[in-house]
Amino acid sequence: MGVRFDQVSKRFGDVIALADFSLEVEDGEFMVLLGPSGCGKTTALRILAGLEEPSGGDVYIDGRDVTDLAPQDRDIAMVFQNYALYPHMSVYDNIAFGLRMRHIPRHELDSLVREAAAMLGLQDLLKRRPGQLSGGQRQRVALGRAIVRRPKAFLMDEPLSNLDAKLRAQTRIELIRLHRTLQTTAVYVTHDQIEAMTMGQRIAVMDGGMLQQVGSPQDIYERPANLFVAEFIGTPAMSFFRGPLRDSAAGVTVDTPLISFALDPAQASVARTTSAAEVVVGVRPEHIELAVEHADRAAAARFDAQVDVVELLGNEIHATLLIDGRSIVCRLDADQVVRQGATERFQIAPPHLLLFDPATSRRLE
Amino acid sequence: MTVAAARPRRRSPWLRQSLAAAPFVLPSLALFCVFVFYPLVRSIWLGFHATDPFGRREVWVGIDQYRDVLTSSDFRHSLIVTGQFALYTVIGSTGLGLYLALLVHRRLPGIILFRTVFTSTVASSVAVSSVMWLLLLNPGVGVLNYVLGQGGVPAANWLTDPKWALPAIAMTTVWMNVGLATIVILAGLQNIPEELYESARVDGAGPWSQFVHVTLPALSPTLLFVSTVGVIFAFQSFGQIDILTKGGPLDSTTVIVYSIYREAFLHYNVGLASAQAVVLFVIVLLLTMVQFIAAQRWVFYR
């Protein structure tokens, strides 16, 4: 059931767009393919749709090998980035088009179209043409065209990227509701990690045509598989410090040029198993705190830094800190007082350090 | 206290803009005046005058001459011939142009060669094309009869048989127009977003449905343009008729423009020719308007 990629690869001339891509999407699951542009996510989706032929590997939909089937025989529906509505057809005809192509009887077609339109609040717009609709309405027509056919899977290629920020947030919620109602397998391509984190039941992070990690949003955020995922996920981005491991009677430390980190026992035992002499320590901005505010907490590291830029976001503060000329970002509560230009003492709480092997870039665990 | 009067008078924005635009517009306005507007007004004026057999002495006859044109059976005949000619050439060049454009639209290695070949007729002059077709259509040594003969079709006297002369000239004209039609339609095809086809494929549309539901509607403004220009071309065709048939045989290819030419420059009846020219102008104007009104209904602009 669901959708499965089995060692799918795709080359465009010399460029490898997708390399040995294997991914299983459960029946009814909302899977997000996330990655920077050129990472192969759209290629993967188009191969699943049948719009692109894989150079190798197989694609399964609902347990059936569809690798050699044309798009229309795969029983899928696709929502395109700029909607791809038929400009000369009314909203009604746009939604009905797929059903007409499948020769659904007229009365049945009519009730299906009206049902889909009602689900998306398009009842009053059925006679309009796409040119007379706003971006958000067009987006919903594109969704209507997809859901009306009750396909085995929805494929969505950055469907929210042409909407303004407010509408995007709204449509995100509508999509989550829609998926909850329909329970149809969905594969959703985006480069926007907020969309991925909020909508995906699982996220597949991709880079350079390769799958980097598959997991729940929480998994991906808290236990990134490698340096790429760690850096790509999270805004502001994680900070990294590289230095040699030192094992002494007092415990295991990582002595980077800027900051010395003391590992807690669990991290220490992980660090002891690695053959690497050096490790990379990753710290999320929210785990850097003002030492004066949290003097009672144990700390893995304490350091002085000059507050370079303070960005007040209302609910929180992003402060760019300078340590010996290198800037890192930390996230503080809005009620904390940091003055631009002042030098403050900061600390990092122990359990939040992530350790990576710089040679393989994989996280140590 | 007249504050307003104290202020210097300012030119209206309209006047200022017009003065600024004048140097840009004047050169082409001058050309239009000399070669379009003056001849047009002069033709209308001449249409109200009768000319003696030597092409002189203009006598005011009012609208009589226009009435003569509209009621004469010769003129009606040339109108019918012109209509048929327009029908053949517009359908032929638009249809063939669409077909060729669809053929060369796909990206294949070496396709640029075919694009060049299919559109090259746009670069050949009416005279050259006509002379070339004069040879191709020659009943004795022409290639066309030879090829048809190979297929068992009896030879025809293309340019001297009243039944075949107009179709033969229409064929020549289609060949001459198809290059432009192909270029314009190809440009239209390349403006259709690829996503529409992909969306249609996912929706279950086969090649024919994609053509009917995506290509044709998106191409409708282009097809309107090609056919409108085709009608205007057809009503203005002269060179190929003069070279291939001179209006014959039995006036079977005497289109309006040729009839005007004959009246003015062979019979020296400038007045009558001018009256015919003005009537032709009105007909083309009306036809173009009808096409654009039809377009409001059938053509889809994005």
pLDDT in tens, B61-116: 777 777 877 788 788 888 888 888 889 999 999 999 999 888 888 878 888 888 88
Residue B6 has pLDDT above 70, yes or no: no
pLDDT (mean) for A234-247? 89
Residues 327-356 of A with CB under 8 A from B: none
Q: Do the chains contact at A78 and B202, CB–CB below 8 Å?
A: yes
* Residue A284: predicted pLDDT: 93
pLDDT (mean) for B241-249? 78
- Residue A148, SS3 per DSSP: coil
Q: Which of A82, A86, A149 sits opposite B213 (nearest CB)?
A: A86
Q: Which residue of B has its CA nearest to A153?
A: B202
* A113 chain-B contacts, CB cut-off 8 A: none
- Digit-coded pLDDT (tens) for B150-190: 777 776 777 777 777 888 888 888 988 888 898 899 999 98
Q: Which residue of A has its CA nearest to B197?
A: A84
pLDDT (mean) for A302-322? 91
Assign B2 a pLDDT band (cuts: 50, 70, 90). very low
Roughly what angle, to the nearest 10 degrees, separates helices A135-147 and A165-182? 20
Out of A355-359, B98-102, B294-298, least confident range: B294-298
* Residue B300: predicted pLDDT: 63
- Digit-coded pLDDT (tens) for A82-138: 888 998 889 999 999 989 888 888 888 989 999 888 888 888 888 888 888 888 889
* Residue A271: predicted pLDDT: 83
* Residue A156: predicted pLDDT: 92
- Digit-coded pLDDT (tens) for A180-212: 988 999 999 999 989 999 999 999 999 989 999
Q: Confirm or reject contact between A314 and chain B (CB < 8 A).
A: no
* Residue B250: predicted pLDDT: 80
Q: Which of B193, B300, B302 sits opposite A84 (nearest CB)?
A: B193
- Residue B89, SS3 per DSSP: helix
Share of chain A above pLDDT 90, in %: 40
Q: State the count of interchain CB pairs (< 8 A) between A and B.
A: 65
Q: For residue B80, how far is the Cα from the chain centroid?
A: 16
Residue A163 has pLDDT above 50, yes or no: yes
**What distance in Å separates the CA atoms of residue A80 and residue B74, rounded to the nearest whole number?**
61
- Digit-coded pLDDT (tens) for B68-81: 777 887 888 888 88
| Preceding amide of B221 cis, omega within 30 | no
**H-helix or E-strand spanning residue B9:** none
- CA distance to partner chain A, nearest, from residue B299 (Å): 9
- CA distance to partner chain A, nearest, from residue B205 (Å): 6
pLDDT (mean) for B199-209? 89
Assign A316 a pLDDT band (cuts: 50, 70, 90). very high
- CA distance to partner chain A, nearest, from residue B283 (Å): 32
* Residue A319: predicted pLDDT: 92
Q: Do the chains contact at A84 and B300, CB–CB below 8 Å?
A: no
Q: Confirm or reject contact between A72 and chain B (CB < 8 A).
A: yes
* Residue B9: predicted pLDDT: 61
> First-to-last CA distance in chain B?
57
Ranges of H-type helices in chain B: 3-6, 13-32, 38-47, 64-71, 73-105, 111-119, 126-136, 143-150, 165-190, 194-203, 207-210, 216-236, 239-244, 256-261, 270-298
pLDDT (mean) for A55-67? 90
Residue B302 has pLDDT above 60, yes or no: no
* Dihedral angle sign, alpha carbons of residues A117, A121, A123, A128: negative
Pairing of strands A64-65, A260-262: unpaired
Residue B7 has pLDDT above 60, yes or no: no
Q: Which of A50, A82, A101 sits opposite B203 (nearest CB)?
A: A101
**What distance in Å separates the CA atoms of residue A3 and residue A14, rounded to the nearest whole number?**
28
Q: Which of B199, B201, B204 sits opposite A102 (nearest CB)?
A: B204
**What distance in Å separates the CA atoms of residue B133 and residue B125, rounded to the nearest whole number?**
12
pLDDT (mean) for A159-173? 87
* Dihedral angle sign, alpha carbons of residues B256, B261, B264, B266: negative
- CA distance to partner chain A, nearest, from residue B75 (Å): 42
Residue B272: which of B34, B74, B38 has the closest Cα?
B74
Residue A270 has pLDDT above 80, yes or no: yes
Backbone angles phi, psi at A205, to 5 degrees: -90, 130
Assign A220 a pLDDT band (cuts: 50, 70, 90). very high
Residue type for position B260: I
**What distance in Å separates the CA atoms of residue B277 and residue B297, rounded to the nearest whole number?**
31
Q: Which residue of B has its CA nearest to A75?
A: B202
Residue B142 has pLDDT above 70, yes or no: yes
Strand order across the beta sheet in which A64-65 lies: A15-25, A3-12, A56-61, A64-65
* Residue A199: predicted pLDDT: 92
